[in-house]
Amino acid sequence: MQRLTRQIFFKQTLFSVALLTCATIAQAASPWMRSEAEGYYWAGLNYSTGEQRWDNSSDLKDTDCRNSDWYMHHKVEYGYSYYYTLIAGLSASSANCGDDSLTEMGDLTLGIRGRLDKYSNGKSWEITTIIPTGYDRNNSSRPGNGRFAIEGGVAWLFRKGEASTSLWSWQGGASIRLWQGPPADQFLSYLSVHRRIATVGRVGVRINGDFSFRNESPEKIKFENRTRLTDFDKLKVAVSWSNHINRRWSYQTSIGHVLWGRNVTNSLIVGVNISHNWNR
């Protein structure tokens, strides 16, 4: 009885903390809900490079140096109950452009996701908060904004049949991110489609649209591809391949390119990630 009481108290405390400090590292919301006590770990590594940049008028111009960036993301999700999933994430990055370089920890994220449909998975709401780590807010080479942000959004997934048998699936999400001061607030969205290829995996195409409300002036930044430190718009497309290694481990590889932007680098992005489920 005492053990059950401690478990209930622990869950109530964890849930209360998540409600006060919610966040995620992913752009826009995710439709996936975890089962009660199910754990999920995700790690991703991205490399981006480019030597042209869209200016504030969306004119494409050459930059003084080629940008080369590495981004590492870690995310953990926990099924608090059938109705709520808790989220935590942490990022790190390494940026290089000419003689300028930076390697540092980025922002911490904590959050909560809930069901919009209590009878099925694939429709959810999400509330998140971005928490800066201890880097210098006034350093133009900082890895994040050095500001708190809150984000709220919804996401959906549509497919016929179970994940293991459905041939096609579509997924989309949209959210609004509000920053504490600069940079400008943002509207984030994505739409993706995946097709199963026999039993060997899935191929997918995803379009991301990040748009500024333009309610803050762009900040001076040292690395020209640090889009999240300023007022920007970006439209990006990526192609991916994903598959299961075994019942609990899976992987995904992707290659993408920025199609259009404002105050953003014309970048090529290559990525790989792995994920693990337990207690599923």
Total count of domains within the chain: 1
On the question of pLDDT at 130 being above 90, the answer is yes
Average pLDDT, the chain: 84
Separation in Å, CA 43 to CA 35, 59, 77: 20, 35, 12
Q: What's the pLDDT at 255?
A: 98
> What is the spatial distance between Cα 111 and Cα 19, in angstroms, rounded to a whole number?
7
> For residue 174, which of 33, 44, 26 has the smallest C-alpha distance?
26
Any domain includes 15: no
Any domain includes 62: yes
Give residue-wise pLDDT tens across range 232-244: 899 999 999 999 9
CATH code for position 273: 2.40.128.130
Separation in Å, CA 146 to CA 139, 143, 276: 10, 8, 30
Any domain includes 167: yes
What is the extent of the structural domain holding 217? 21-278
Any domain includes 196: yes
Give residue-wise pLDDT tens across range 149-174: 999 999 999 987 666 678 999 999 99
> For residue 143, which of 104, 98, 108 has the smallest C-alpha distance?
104
The mean per-residue pLDDT over the stretch 23-52 comes to 85
Any domain includes 11: no
Q: Of 7 and 100, which is predicted with more confidence? A: 100
The mean per-residue pLDDT over the stretch 268-278 comes to 97
On the question of pLDDT at 1 being above 50, the answer is no
Any domain includes 1: no
Separation in Å, CA 4 to CA 1, 12, 16, 83, 248: 5, 12, 18, 20, 28
Nearby residues of 1 by Cβ (< 8 Å), 6 or more positions away: none
